[in-house]
Amino acid sequence: MKFIHLTDTHVVGTGLLYGQDPAKRLSCAVASINAEHGDADFVIVTGDMTHWGDADAYARFATEIAKLKIPIHLMVGNHDDTPSLMHTFPDLPRDENGFVQQAIDTAHGRFLLLDTKAPKGHAGAYCEARRDWLARQLELPGPVYLFMHHPPFEVGIKAMDAIMMRDAEAFHDVIAPHKHSILNLFFGHVHRAIWGTWRGISYSCMRGLNHQVALDLDTPAEQIGGNFEPPAYGVVLLQDDQVTVHLHDFADKSHSFPL
């Protein structure tokens, strides 16, 4: 099975963001996915579809993402606005409490797409109601892949660690009895390619499309550095006993040659 992990598109309705046009970056990513990975089962966008959460930005995002030739599943991030999102995508699945989270059953296991958006601010949250939903999903048999916007742990970049998911311990209490079933945790938010393990669970994070967070492990949390490292998306290959995550620098124009 193959699927695409896309994150942090940060589309704006008009104008530029940090001197770049996020919608054009998204358009290039969509064209690349269609041309190179049209056999993928679907695309999952792990939040921050827009930068300001306004209706014009969601309309522009919708125009570009509709060009994908494979199905897409959307999630919310701290830059998203749920009411505006639902106005543009009224059929987007939500749980019984209105949170934008869902379970997707596949031949390789259950994909659990979580809503880590807090009512205010940029840090993530995962309240008791959401944890109850997750606990019920984890009771079902079979392998599980978790998707969220905010990581529930520090990554070493102080500004991003200050806005990680706040309910990390309560979240871990829910998933701890099911670690044997959780094969990978996918997230965005940090705008960097990161891989590792957290308390025995493997994880992966992808770069954003418009701008990246600089790899600066020394600057205080009050400051955050950005740069224009190349945009990328993840190409994920699943087998019964393996998860492989490729980072695809789709905008790379360097010459290919036989080695």
Which of 30, 59, 31, 58 is CA-nearest to residue 43? 30
3-37: pLDDT as tens digits: 999 999 999 999 999 999 999 999 999 999 999 99
Domain boundaries, the chain: 2-248
Give the mean pLDDT of 112-125.
97
Whole-model pTM: value is 0.97
Query: What is the reported pLDDT for 228?
Result: 97
- The sign of the dihedral angle between the CA atoms of 95, 170, 135, 203 is positive
* Look-up of token digits 């969601």: 58
What's the rounded Cα separation, in Å, for the pair 251 and 209? 10
The answer to whether 14 and 53 are in contact (CB under 8 A) is no
Which two structure tokens, joined as six digits, stand for 28? Answer: 């290039």
Query: What is the reported pLDDT for 133?
Result: 98
Query: What is the reported pLDDT for 182?
Result: 98
137-147: pLDDT as tens digits: 999 999 999 99
Pick one of 3.30.70.20, 3.30.200.20, 3.60.21.10, 1.10.760.10 as the CATH number of 2-248.
3.60.21.10
